[in-house]
């Protein structure tokens, strides 16, 4: 008898034309390694990205490019279920039910909402940003997910999801699996090359600090060579005093598989220039096939469409069953 595999769900926003190294090492790499042992559902959360008012043509391109990159990075549509969030209508439908069970104060306490809305001001903050975590809860609960691989910054949203699931179950009877956050390891946290104390992120001012997966090798090289380091000469892991070098060590180690200690030995007595050149080479060689495969996938839209259609059908089968059960529990009359 085959053991029942635990269910996993995660989502990533199509906010840029290319994912960056932080997205890959902090999230997608785990997705790839979890797909074999779990019943994994992964989605590109295009509906979530509407909160930042994207240009329509860009949203379309970015969503397809995100799917192509996820495939190029190793997600196998035969092994996991890969789909676009908006292809499964149940996400919005369950989100409404969950919105009606979430306290206004409870939603107001989400730190990501507070940070983002404070930055742009109340008049320029859309309601979708406020309900964003509730749509995320629907994403998770529809699939009866056991684990939700996310970064530390999403922990509070998964906690809210757990609270909502427990509230629903105790009011209407067992309906949802209570999901657990599967927080990615600290070692996988990649920092901005220009400001190695903040996370690598598209929203930082310096794009020079972000390594895009689809960037040309020359650009990767230039960015890594101009990474901010310190005035010492020693290649040593010390996050507090040598944030830049530590970040480059993490990047090298995560992509090459060499341990940090081995790298420290290898570069003992050598200057930062040599070390940076080695990091650049590892990054460039790792990303070359990813970029080529992504470009190749994007030249065949009908192949991508077929993968997405199958993914959406598999996802909808699970999601629609959960939604039907939910609607019934709360007293909505079935259409019959």
* Residue 235 within binding range of ligand TRP, rule CB under 6 A: no
Tokens of 259: 């341990």
Assign 3-class secondary structure to the chain.
Answer: CCCCCCEEEEEECCCCCCCEHHHHHHHHHHHHHHCCCCEEEEEECHHHHHHHCCCHHHHHHHHHHHHHHHHHCCCCCCCCEEEEHHHCCHHHHHHHHHHCCCCHHHHHCCHHHHHHHHHHCHHHCCHHHHHHHHHHHHHHHHCCCCEEEECHHHHHHHHHHHHHHHHHHHHHCCCCCCCEEEECCHHHCCECCCCCCCECCCCCCCHHHCCECCCCHHHHHHHHHCCCCCCCCCCCCECCCEHHHHHHHHHHHHHHCCCHHHHHHHCCCCCHHHHHHHHHHHHHHHHHHHHHHHHHHHCCHHHHHHHHHHHHHHHHHHHHHHHHHHHHHHCCCCCC
Indicate which single residue of 7, 8, 9, 134 sits in contact with ligand TRP (rule: CB under 6 A): 9
Interface with ligand TRP by CB under 6 A: which range of 7-15, 57-65, 222-230, 319-327?
A: 7-15
- Binding-site residue total for ligand TRP (CB under 6 A)? 12
In the complex with ligand TRP, which residue's Cβ is closer, 28 or 283? 28
In the complex with ligand TRP, which residue's Cβ is closer, 154 or 326? 154
Which entry of 6, 189, 202, 270 is annotated as an active-site residue? 202
* Residue 154 within binding range of ligand TRP, rule CB under 6 A: yes
Tokens of 159: 């906690």
* Interatomic CA distance for residues 255 and 73, integer angstroms: 12
Min CB(11)–ligand TRP separation in Å: 3
Active site residue 116: yes
In the complex with ligand TRP, which residue's Cβ is closer, 9 or 84? 9
Which entry of 116, 225, 314, 325 is annotated as an active-site residue? 116
Interface with ligand TRP by CB under 6 A: which range of 147-155, 198-206, 207-215, 283-291?
A: 147-155
Min CB(164)–ligand TRP separation in Å: 13
* Residue 11 within binding range of ligand TRP, rule CB under 6 A: yes
250 Cα distance to chain centroid: 19
Active site residue 199: yes
Indicate which single residue of 72, 150, 282, 312 sits in contact with ligand TRP (rule: CB under 6 A): 150
In the complex with ligand TRP, which residue's Cβ is closer, 145 or 246? 145
* Residue 63 within binding range of ligand TRP, rule CB under 6 A: no
Indicate which single residue of 7, 8, 13, 247 sits in contact with ligand TRP (rule: CB under 6 A): 13
Active site residue 202: yes
Site for ligand TRP, residues 112 to 141, rule: CB under 6 A: 136, 139-140
Site for ligand TRP, residues 31 to 50, rule: CB under 6 A: 45, 48
Enumerate the active-site residues: 116, 199, 202
Binding site residues, ligand TRP, CB under 6 A: 9-11, 13, 45, 48, 136, 139-140, 148, 150, 154
């Amino acid at each position: 008898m085959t053991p029942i595999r635990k269910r996993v769900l995660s989502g990533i926003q199509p906010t840029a034309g290319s994912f960056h190294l932080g997205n890959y090492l902090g999230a997608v790499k785990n997705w790839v390694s979890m797909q074999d042992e779990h019943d994994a559902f992964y989605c590109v959360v295009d509906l979530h990205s509407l909160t930042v008012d994207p240009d329509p043509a860009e949203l379309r391109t970015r969503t397809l490019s995100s799917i192509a990159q996820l495939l190029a990075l190793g997600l196998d549509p035969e092994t996991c279920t890969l789909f676009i969030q908006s292809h499964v209508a149940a996400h919005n439908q369950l989100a409404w039910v969950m919105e009606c069970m979430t306290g206004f104060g409870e939603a107001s306490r989400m730190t990501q909402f507070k940070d983002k809305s404070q930055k742009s001001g109340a008049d320029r903050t859309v309601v979708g940003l406020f309900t964003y975590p509730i749509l995320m809860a629907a994403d998770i609960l529809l699939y009866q997910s056991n684990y939700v691989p996310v970064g530390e910054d999403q922990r509070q949203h998964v906690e809210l999801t757990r609270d909502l699931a427990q509230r629903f179950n105790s009011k209407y009877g067992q309906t949802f699996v209570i999901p657990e956050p599967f927080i990615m390891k600290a070692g996988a946290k990649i920092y901005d090359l220009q400001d190695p104390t903040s996370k690598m992120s598209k929203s930082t001012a310096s794009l020079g600090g972000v390594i895009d997966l689809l960037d040309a090798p020359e650009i990767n090289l230039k960015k890594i060579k101009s990474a901010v380091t310190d005035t010492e000469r020693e290649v040593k892991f010390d996050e507090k005093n040598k944030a830049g070098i530590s970040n480059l060590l993490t990047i090298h180690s995560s992509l090459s598989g060499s341990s940090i200690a081995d790298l420290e030995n290898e570069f003992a007595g050598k200057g930062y220039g040599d070390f940076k050149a080695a990091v650049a080479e590892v990054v460039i060689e790792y990303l070359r096939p990813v970029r080529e495969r992504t470009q190749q996938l994007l030249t065949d839209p009908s192949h991508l469409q077929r993968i997405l259609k199958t993914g959406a059908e598999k996802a909808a089968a699970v999601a629609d069953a959960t939604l039907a059960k939910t609607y019934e529990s709360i007293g909505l009359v079935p259409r019959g």
